Amino acid sequence: MNRKLTVNVDKPQNNMDTLYGIFFEDINHAADGGLYGELVRNRSFEFCPVDNPSYHGLTAWEKVEQDGKVRLQIETGNPVHPNNPHYLAMDIVKQGEDVGVWNVGYNTGIPLREKESYNFCCYVKREQDLECPCTVSLRSKEGAIYAEKTFLADMEWKKIELELTSPVTDFEARLTITAKGYGKVYLDFVSLFPKNTFLNKRWGFRRDLAEMIADLKPRFMRFPGGCLVHVGSLDENARDSQYRWKNTLGEPEGRPPRKNVDYNQTLGIGYMEYFEFCKEIGTKPIPVFSAGYDPHSQKAAPLDRMQPWIDDVLDLISFATEGEDTYWGRKRIELGHSEPFPLDTIAIGNEEVGEAFFERYAIIHQAVKEKYPWIKIINSAGPYAEGEGWERGWKSADEWNSEYVDEHYYQSPEWFIGNQFRYDAYSREKSKVFLGEYASKANKWKNALAEASYMIGLERNADIVKYACYAPLLCNVDYVQWNPDMIWFNNHQVYGTPNYYVQKLFMNHHGDVTLDYEYEDKIQQKNEIKTIQGGIILESLGSDILIKEMEIENIHTGEKIVLGDYRIEQGGKENILEKLDWSNYRIRLLFTEMDKEDERDGFRLLFGRRDADNWYAWDAAVGDNRESFVVESNSGIGYVVTQHSWCVTRGRTYCMELEVNDSHICTYVDGKKMHDTISQPMVIAPLYLSAVLDKETGDVIIKGVNMQDKPVAVDIDFSQNVKEEAEVFYLQCNDLDTENSFEEPEKIAIQTRTEQVKDGILTYTFEPYSVNILRMGTDPA
Ligand code: AHR
């Protein structure tokens, strides 16, 4: 028997016009070596150990010596631009056939495509032999020359701009500069861009990546990070400064090099480029600012010296939105953009927690509201789905009436399925949710499906969940800092993950207003009881630890298992119980961290262990002895359920208690409650459904996710005149472990078909393990 779904097209519910967007984070070489079209790595010879201990001025550069001899040195005496003080002195000590230097690019080399042209640019000067030519060439890694052009140097810096066309396709090529004659040839800002960039812009974005992003049709873009925003020195001129947008404007050769989290950033993609890209792909820019505090190093700007941080925010608002009567508005116009950018929302902080952040948030929040009261501000609830930091962020948002709170979480697919109702329980009276980072920790079809089902829950709560973006967006396969990611690439290929295609379906068929509907199996919270039973293990995560008087008590019967004392060496573990069948129990122990200078983390009390992949843990005094977590692992994917800050004093003894009542977990230290959380049961609903209206086309969009292994046939009544044909866009795969790859980039990809409507009813079968979009044109007649 078919199920029946009635969509009440004339009963609009919540506005969701900005719900799905992207988070462009410069991580995993998403910008340099990624979206930024530059093919030369370390173009200005600015790489240094500050960026990464393995870097130096000649990283990615190698000598070319045939017959002759060259010495490569990095000099600083007379740079092209003071912001980029280093340059290469190529000292030809023995003249030869082919003497110079080449750049090996990113990944396997410089990617060349047959008949495509490339813009070469460099600054050059030399100390003698001015009549001897320099040559730029595109070559194979064996040295075969594909294309070359010559130029002459002067004794002063001269900018050379040339075009080279490649007769071949070679993704392992080299960009080479050689010179005839003797003595020093100086080079700086050696750059090669494909002419074929996104929208054919000079200094533009890599076309395939930009198109993958544009194809999503995101409604907003959060940028530029991520940890990138807050990691680093508070001095904007320091080589490892936090991300300061004013450093990112103007000619590329004048932008200062900066340390990204652990690589170099040229700032070639700067704030102008971010804003312009948003405009080009029709999305709303949402920049993220540091609040003058680095939560990693805990360095904070003094509270009475916050003006530079306030100015960074106010000036950016002026830069984006004001006219030539303001300094920063004029600056934007001078940089070639006379129209303002549509900036109305900003974020202060990227998952920052701790009092130092909230004090500074308050200062910046007030300054923005005073000068630009119409700007909406996103506060921060830290990196975890619940716990002390999350609560503190929401409290701060209450205090300051922040329009939004940025939530971040990376959990298992089981968590996403089990937490479908997370936002149903949120207050409707408080700040709205900006879900700035989330992902289910792998790129398999199972993960994408779980995320899709969760997104249906976001739509059901579109009155309070106003923005949501998967994270991170991009990853270069040879420079992975964070996994999973939505789009993977190397220097010449790109593929979208199943997670990408889910995001694409939901963004391409976004809709603007949710619609009321009736469905017999409407998803609702089921009061299922989940029990946490299984083995118990004690593990030292850092120092030697002493556990005394350990015992387990059955909360219902009072029965006790006395376990006694353990001394666990650094990194060691102790199997305490293979299996505990109770589901209501209290584990009590006395914990002392033994003195040891070099290790800091505390211990893990693993409980409810069903097997190596499925367990719970209380991680106490971890993260450099700063935090305590309840952790859960489902099918090998571990994640933080809830967090609390905590630091132990060596040598002091703490009374630790863990209480489990079915799925309710509480922890106590010296009688004081630390964690209090419920591990939600993973209940798969018969069908996850959402109905939305696209205001522009008048189309009714049904989103349906079937996570079961059997099909669900539904008769859909739109309670209104509809066209005779529905467009269908769907993803389906019976193997939940399926992933896309360079070899099979579209193993999971969007398929389309049409379905006929009979007597006003669309009968549709939601196949097992599928994500479906049904687009139905309404007929006003
Ligand atoms: O998106 C990956 C990282 O996750 C971000 O840098 C940070 O905000 C979070 O910890």
- Beta pairing partners, 342: none
For residue 317, give the 3-state DSSP assignment. Answer: helix
Distance CA 505, CA 730 (A): 8
Q: Which atom of ligand 1 is nearest to the CA of 228?
A: 6
Helical H segments across 349-444, by residue range: 355-371, 388-400, 413-418
In angstroms, the CA 683 to CA 410 distance is 19
Q: Among residues of the chain, what percentage have pLDDT more than 90?
A: 93
d(CA 761, CA 763): 6
* Residue of the CA atom closest to atom 4 of ligand 1: 226
The pLDDT confidence band at residue 766, using thresholds 50, 70 and 90, is very high
Q: Residue 686: is the preceding peptide bond cis (ω within 30°)?
A: no
End-to-end CA distance of the chain: give it in Å, rounded.
Answer: 32
Distance between Cα 455 and ligand 1 center (Å): 20
Mutate to test the pocket of ligand 1, among 482, 486, 487 (most ligand atoms within 8 A of CB): 482
DSSP string, 233-278: BS-TTSTTBPP-GGGG-S-GGGSPPEE-SSSEE---S-HHHHHHHH
Spatial distance between the Cα atoms of 241 and 347, rounded to a whole number of angstroms? 19
Q: Which two tokens stand for residue 506?
A: 């939901």
Q: What is the pLDDT of residue 542?
A: 83
What residue type is 239 in one-letter code?
R
Q: If you measure from the C-alpha of residue 767 to the centroid of ligand 1, how many angstroms do you get, rounded to a whole number?
A: 35
What does the pLDDT average to over 648-656? Answer: 92
Separation CA 75–CA 155 (nearest Å): 16
Cα(437) to centroid of ligand 1, in Å? 7
- Number of Cβ within a 10 Å radius of residue 551: 13
Angle at alpha carbon of residue 7, lines to 5 and 11, rounded to 5°? 150
What is the model's pLDDT at position 421?
Answer: 95
pLDDT bracket for residue 570 (50, 70, 90) = confident
Write out pLDDT tens, residues 710-757: 999 999 998 778 899 999 999 999 999 999 999 999 999 999 999 999
Q: Residues enclosing ligand 1, CB less than 6 A?
A: 25, 27, 225-227, 350-351, 383, 408, 437, 471-472, 482
Centroid of ligand 1 to alpha carbon of 368 (angstroms): 25
Nearest to 509 by CA among 652, 693, 368: 693
Report, in angstroms and rounded to the nearest whole number, the Rg of the chain calculated over CA atoms.
Answer: 29
For ligand 1, the distance from its centroid to the CA atom of residue 85, given in whole angstroms, is: 31
Residue whose Cα lies nearest atom 1 of ligand 1: it is 472
The reported pLDDT for the residue numbered 99 is: 97
Choose the weakest-confidence range: 84-98, 484-498, 589-603, 717-731. Answer: 589-603
Catalytic residue among 351, 386, 451, 627: 351
What tokens appear for 459 in the block?
Answer: 């739509």
Nearest alpha carbon, ligand 1 atom 8: 226
C-alpha 428/C-alpha 734 separation (Å) is 38
Angle between helices 355-371 and 307-321 (to 10 degrees): 40
Strands (E), 443-559: 465-468, 474-476, 487-489, 494-496, 513-519, 535-540, 545-554
Average pLDDT over residues 113-128: 98
Give percent of the chain with pLDDT exceeding 70: 99
Rounded-to-integer distance, Cα 92 and Cα 494, Å: 40
Q: What is the position in ligand 1's atom list of the atom closest to the CA of 350?
A: 8
Residue 526: pLDDT over 70: yes
Tokens 């106490």 locate to 620
Rounded CA separation 622/625 (Å)? 5
Contact between residue 731 and residue 771 where contact means Cβ atoms under 8 Å apart: yes
Cα separation, 469 vs 222, whole angstroms: 8
Burial class (CB in 10 A: 0-12, 13-18, 19+), 626: middle
What is the distance between the alpha carbons of residues 167 and 146, in angstroms, rounded to a whole number?
A: 6
In this structure, the strands spanning 614-622 and 603-611 are antiparallel
Q: What is the pLDDT of residues 410-463, one digit of tens each?
A: 999 999 999 999 999 999 999 999 999 999 999 999 999 999 999 999 999 999
Strand 545-554, strand 494-496: pairing: unpaired
For residue 383, give the ligand 1 atom closest to its CA: 10
Protein residue whose Cα sits closest to atom 5 of ligand 1 = 226
CA quadruple 680, 681, 685, 688: dihedral, nearest 10: 30
Average pLDDT score over the chain: 96
Q: Is the pLDDT of residue 779 over 90?
A: no
In our burial notation (b when 16+ CB lie closer than 10 A, e otherwise), range 428-439 reads: eeebbbbbbbbb
- CA 440 to chain CA centroid, nearest Å: 12
675-703: per-residue pLDDT in tens? 999 999 999 999 999 999 999 999 999 99
The rounded distance, in Å, linking the Cα atoms of 197 and 233 is 34
Q: Which atom of ligand 1 is nearest to the CA of 437?
A: 1
The model's pLDDT over 145-158, given as tens digits with 9 standing for 90+, comes to 999 999 999 999 99
Instruction: Determine which residue's CA is closest to atom 2 belonging to ligand 1.
Output: 472
Query: What contacts 24+ positions apart, CB below 8 Å, involve 665-674?
Result: 665/532, 665/616, 665/630, 665/641, 667/618, 667/628, 667/630, 674/628, 674/644, 674/646
Helices (H), 464-538: 498-508
Q: Which band of pLDDT confidence, cut at 50, 70 and 90, is reported for residue 780? A: low
Output the six-digit token pair for 581: 């069948």
Residue 781 has pLDDT above 70, yes or no: no
Per-residue pLDDT, averaged over 556-576, amounts to 94
HSE-up (13 A, CA, CB side) for residue 162: 20
Contacts of 444 (CB under 8 A, 6+ apart): 498, 736, 737, 738, 739
Angle between helices 445-460 and 498-508 (to 10 degrees): 30
Q: Sorting pLDDT into bands at 50, 70 and 90, what band is 530?
A: confident
351 is catalytic: yes
| pLDDT tens sequence across 591-608 | 998 865 655 788 999 999
Whether the predicted pLDDT of 524 surpasses 90: no
Give residue 262 CA to ligand 1 midpoint distance, Å: 14
Q: What is the dihedral of CA 731, 735, 740, 741, to 10 degrees?
A: -160
pLDDT at 135 over 90: yes
Residue to substitute in 27, 378, 409 for testing ligand 1 pocket (most ligand atoms within 8 angstroms of CB):
27
CA of residue 227 to ligand 1 center, whole Å: 6
How many angstroms separate the CA atoms of 54 and 69, rounded?
A: 26
Q: Confidence band (pLDDT; 50, 70, 90) for 776?
A: very high
Least confident of 79-83, 379-383, 516-520: 516-520
Can you tell me which atom of ligand 1 is nearest the CA of 351?
A: 8
Nearest CA to ligand 1 atom 7: 226
- pLDDT for 774 beyond 70: yes
Which residue's alpha carbon is at the smallest distance from atom 3 of ligand 1?
A: 226
For residues 481 and 472, the answer to whether their CB atoms sit within 8 Å is: no
- Which regions of 76-208 does DSSP assign to beta strands (E)? 87-94, 98-103, 110-112, 117-126, 134-139, 145-151, 158-165, 170-179, 183-194
The three-class DSSP label of residue 638 is strand
Which pLDDT belongs to residue 597?
63
Nearest atom of ligand 1 to the alpha carbon of 472: 1
